[in-house]
Structure 1
């Protein structure tokens, strides 16, 4: 004799349609599919024991969801809110450990240059901020606030007294502005520099191509085949590169690059060609400006601030060259290296688009304000 449940389930056509879709779904969580099947079977009048046997679940599970649905409908099939285990640590303790992560270990008289989650956990216990804590908990807190004290980035604090005006005029050129006036259609901005000491490395053994479950392998040992310098001029608005190679850096090879660019159209007939360069020996100081103007009257050499090559767009191109054309390569001679550089340059010019440069004068002003606050904080801490 079948035992009928006291919780009768009666479905409207709309409810039955929703539950049938859930019962067939391959994307919903399995628990939601099972709950829908329980309710549909209950609506057909099947006893709890039969439903449990058909779905291979415990009969108590069937009773629970039949009762829930009878009382609350579709909404009752969702999980109830769970309060979870009471927190072990207070928000204040978490904040104290995060603050410690933002403090150099030297300030704690520790012989460390950087924190790890393990070191922070040990120091928190030593300072009695907590009774005990695992490194995993510390790491989870720091990840929540994107604090990574075990990482660092090298940087150079701007020391050029004219950093702001020099950087601003370069950013204006990238925005096609010079001295508050827009550049004309026959005016161009060139970002130029040289990549020195490129080595022709000939691997002792051929590399191994990648395969299933195996990354590409490059022989570690090599023979040196000499070095050369790669000079490149990058048109920041047309994404075109003109480059040359030379045994070494210097005024003469940079002058050769300038001549190659300035005799090539559209630069040969341009009204002005602005050359953005850093303060390297090949193009440093007022003498380089005069030298360029004398050789090419339409060329305007524009120097970046000292230690601000990160504002030179050609450095992005050099990074691409390094990653795609040189790193891991095998070059028996300097001729092979030169051939690779110039072939990559042609390939790049065939498809390249201008870099999506977004750093503006406003970003520069924000950067300088942060630096000013940093200096004030440093002076205050020293006092």
Structure 2
């Protein structure tokens, strides 16, 4: 920028014209033109500033950032992921800097929002009918089925099992929170067994029906179905759609036939493989985990079951339906983005459309 000012001045142009053509302020043009006239080329360099000189040059910060953007295994380091202290140590070992602190590395990384100590998991879509299955579930959440709106006597239930809820009897009593003190839970405990919690969540009524079983399986799941379908309004409903994942208790056509045989007005709808996030009952289970069973402090399984039943009543008294905003349009946008970024998926999509 300073050199451009000088070159324009060498062509005999005025300060105002230089400012207009370079987009600089008139005072800026006047300053650098005057300094060049007085000092020549050295006048274009920064003057010495007071204070402590910088300890690191930008190149060192860039090299540490580049190191953070590599997997430790790629560099031959026996780590699963980088931390700021490990990056500082590695930078010194590589000769990037004679010494550097973890706080300095953290400051460098924060400028580019780099957090190599965090990770997110992902998975490829493996279900060839992912789109069709997901659209059926999303349509049911929007109260439609096969292009028609659901009637007032048709219901949508999301069901699943929460496995292995343990009874952990603490060796010392849990202490309630006090002034400037969090609740204290003793780390040592005795095992009192585990049970499975099966729940059926009415998507549009925000009503939960649950039961506890010693273990999961076909019979425990059918017990849950019988418990729900024997109650009103489901017993006399025209249709009750059961949204389920692909767990072994209710997987495949045999499970759908078994449900239809026992209850003719029940329709089983499976989510795609590896897509339990489409099942709204998982939202309820996350609430149960956070509010009812964490921290786990029970004397026996009877107390666990009592807590779950009491929480179920509490939830049903105050719950509102989930504001589910992920629609079929969002699904199509998501799949389109995956097609653009996943090698080979575009060819598969084109082949499917051709077929």
- TM-score, scaled to structure 1: 0.69
User: Structure 1 residue 206: deviation in Å?
Assistant: 1.3
1:278 matched to 2:245? The reply is yes
The one-character-per-residue Cα deviations of 1:214-257 (angstroms, maximum 9, x if unpaired) are 21111222232222211100011111101111111111111111
* Other structure's SS at 1:255 match: helix
Which residue, out of 140, 162, 180, partners 1:195?
162
1:287 matched to 2:261? The reply is no
Distance 1:301 1:87, change over 3 A: farther
Which residue, out of 300, 310, 313, partners 1:346?
313
1:307 matched to 2:265? The reply is no
Distance 1:353 1:87, change over 3 A: farther
How does 1:80-119 map onto structure 2 within 5 Å? 97-119=64-86
User: Structure 1 residue 357: deviation in Å?
Assistant: 2.2
8 Å CA contact 2:166–2:296 kept in 1: the answer is: no
User: Structure 1 residue 272: deviation in Å?
Assistant: 1.6
Distance 1:253 1:107, change over 3 A: same
Alpha-carbon distance in structure 1 between the residues aligned to 2:241 and 2:296? 34
User: Structure 1 residue 135: deviation in Å?
Assistant: 3.2
Alpha-carbon distance in structure 1 between the residues aligned to 2:323 and 2:53? 49
User: Structure 1 residue 352: deviation in Å?
Assistant: 0.6
Gaps in structure 2 of 5+ consecutive residues: 1-50, 345-355
1:356 matched to 2:305? The reply is no
Which residue, out of 171, 174, 191, partners 1:204?
171
The one-character-per-residue Cα deviations of 1:164-198 (angstroms, maximum 9, x if unpaired) are 22222212222223223332322221110011222
Gaps in structure 1 of 5+ consecutive residues: 1-83, 378-383
Distance 1:128 1:166, change over 3 A: farther
User: Structure 1 residue 85: deviation in Å?
Assistant: 8.9
- TM-score, scaled to structure 2: 0.73
Distance 1:222 1:120, change over 3 A: closer
How does 1:152-301 map onto structure 2 within 5 Å? 152-301=119-268
* Other structure's SS at 2:343 match: helix
How does 1:1-80 map onto structure 2 within 5 Å? none
Alpha-carbon distance in structure 2 between the residues aligned to 1:118 and 1:369? 40
Which residue, out of 272, 275, 285, partners 1:318?
285
The one-character-per-residue Cα deviations of 1:30-68 (angstroms, maximum 9, x if unpaired) are xxxxxxxxxxxxxxxxxxxxxxxxxxxxxxxxxxxxxxx
Alpha-carbon distance in structure 1 between the residues aligned to 2:99 and 2:333? 41
User: Structure 1 residue 105: deviation in Å?
Assistant: 2.0
Q: 1:70 aligns to what? A: none
How does 1:355-374 map onto structure 2 within 5 Å? 355-374=322-341
User: Structure 1 residue 157: deviation in Å?
Assistant: 3.4
Q: 1:45 aligns to what? A: none
The one-character-per-residue Cα deviations of 1:337-367 (angstroms, maximum 9, x if unpaired) are 2111111100000001112222233443344
Paired residue total:
296
Alpha-carbon distance in structure 2 between the residues aligned to 1:375 and 1:109? 28
Q: Which moved more, 1:258-267 or 1:140-149?
A: 140-149
The one-character-per-residue Cα deviations of 1:306-332 (angstroms, maximum 9, x if unpaired) are 222222111111111122111224322
Distance 1:363 1:134, change over 3 A: farther
Distance 1:130 1:184, change over 3 A: farther
Alpha-carbon distance in structure 1 between the residues aligned to 2:89 and 2:172? 47
* Other structure's SS at 2:268 match: strand
User: Structure 1 residue 299: deviation in Å?
Assistant: 1.1
